[in-house]
Structure 1
C-alpha cells in the first residue's frame, strides 16, 4: 500500500492552499457550492456540491503559451 501526503491550509475564508506529493494548488470557493481549483500541474477543476450525495466536477488542462 503506497503512502500519500496531502495537506490543506486555509489562507482566507474561501481560499485554500493544497499541498500533496506532486503539486501545489489553490482552491477558491466554500465547502458547499461552486469551487474552482488551479493546480501547478496545469489542471483547472470546477466543482459544485449539490444536496445529498450528488455533485458535479469538470477538469481540464490549462493551455501553456509558446
Structure 2
C-alpha cells in the first residue's frame, strides 16, 4: 500500500497553496464559483460546481517534449 501526503494552506481568502509528495499548486477561487489551479508540473485546471451532483472540469497539460 503506497504512502501519500497532501497538505493545503489558506494564504489569503480565495487563495490556497496545496502541497503533495511530488509537486505543489496554487488554487484561485473559493466557494461554489469557478476555481483555477496552476501546478508546478505544468497542469492548468479550471473547475466549477454545477447545481446538484454535477460539475465541470477542464485540464491543459504542458507539453514536456521541449
In the TM superposition, residue 63 of structure 1 has moved relative to its aligned partner by: 5.8
1:56 aligns with 2:56: yes
Q: Is there any run of 5+ residues in structure 2 with no aligned partner, and where?
A: none
Say which structure is richer in strand: 1
Q: TM-score, normalized by length of structure 2?
A: 0.88
The corresponding residue for 2:37 is 37
Structure 1 runs of 4+ with >2 Å offset: none
1:21 aligns with 2:53: no
The corresponding residue for 1:6 is 6
After alignment, is 33-42 or 53-62 more displaced?
A: 53-62
1:4-49, Cα deviation, whole Å (9 max, x unpaired): 1111100000000000011010000013110000000000000011
- Give the paired residue count: 65
Q: CA RMSD in A?
A: 1.5
Q: Is there any run of 5+ residues in structure 1 with no aligned partner, and where?
A: none
Q: TM-score, normalized by length of structure 1?
A: 0.88
